[in-house]
């Protein structure tokens, strides 16, 4: 891969039970992710994805782009924007921005239905 190249796109659709499994696995108990009624009562359309779950999808796409070895993901910086929802497809896409001292810097975005849920993500991959 070189500057300007697109990294392979990754698609994933979190199922209806995902937020409960992620909450248990990550230790984040916030009910806006797992309790429909609670989420609606605080003005959300329903349970929303954990931002750090979406960030983990960006990490996974970048690790795959680097050949699959998790040790190659050296740095990942993201901004959380908008809300992600279960049962809707997430698309992670990216472009190599530059080569920096043996690493590739990849600009990445995660979208659902055309809305960015992770933006300005920058990954540094050892290659």
Partner 1 sequence: MALDTAIAGKTYDPVTFDVDADRIRQYAEAVHEDNPVHHDAEAARAAGFRAIAAPPMFAVVYSAPAMGPPIFEAIGDALPRMVHGGQEFVWGEPVCAGDTISTETTVKEIYEKDGKGFYVFESVSKNQDGAEVVRGTWTNIVRGV
Contacts with partner 1 by CB under 8 A lie at 12, 18, 21-22, 24-28, 51-53, 55-57, 59-60, 63, 68-71, 73-80
In whole angstroms, the minimum distance from the beta carbon of 125 to partner 1 comes to 11
For the CB of residue 122, give the shortest distance to partner 1 in the complex, in Å.
Answer: 9
Q: Which two tokens stand for residue 99?
A: 């080569």
Residues 6+ apart with CB under 8 A from 69: 63
Q: How far is the CB of 35 from partner 1 (least distance, A)?
A: 15
H/E stretch holding 22 reads helix 18-26
User: CB 76 → partner 1: shortest distance, Å?
Assistant: 6
Using the minimum distance from each CB to partner 1, give the nearer residue, 4 or 57: 57
Helix (H) or strand (E) segment spanning residue 52: helix 51-65
The distance of Cα 25 from the centroid of its chain, to the nearest Å, equals 16
- CA 116 from centre of chain: 10
Nearer to partner 1, 69 or 98 (CB): 69
- Cβ nearer to partner 1, comparing 4 with 112: 112
Q: What is the dihedral of CA 111, 94, 55, 25, to 10 degrees?
A: 100
Nearer CB in complex with partner 1: 21/40: 21
């Amino acid at each position: 891969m070189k500057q300007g190249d697109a990294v392979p796109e990754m698609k994933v659709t979190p199922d209806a039970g995902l937020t409960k499994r992620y909450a248990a696995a990550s230790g984040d108990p916030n009910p806006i992710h797992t309790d429909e009624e609670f989420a609606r009562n605080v003005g959300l359309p329903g349970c929303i994805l954990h931002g750090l779950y979406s960030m983990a999808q960006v990490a996974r796409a970048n690790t795959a782009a680097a050949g699959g070895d998790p040790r190659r993901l050296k740095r990942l910086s993201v901004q959380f924007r908008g809300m992600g929802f279960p049962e809707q497809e997430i698309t992670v896409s990216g472009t190599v921005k530059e080569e920096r001292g043996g690493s590739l810097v990849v600009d990445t975005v995660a979208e659902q239905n055309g809305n960015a849920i992770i933006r300005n993500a920058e990954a540094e991959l050892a290659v």
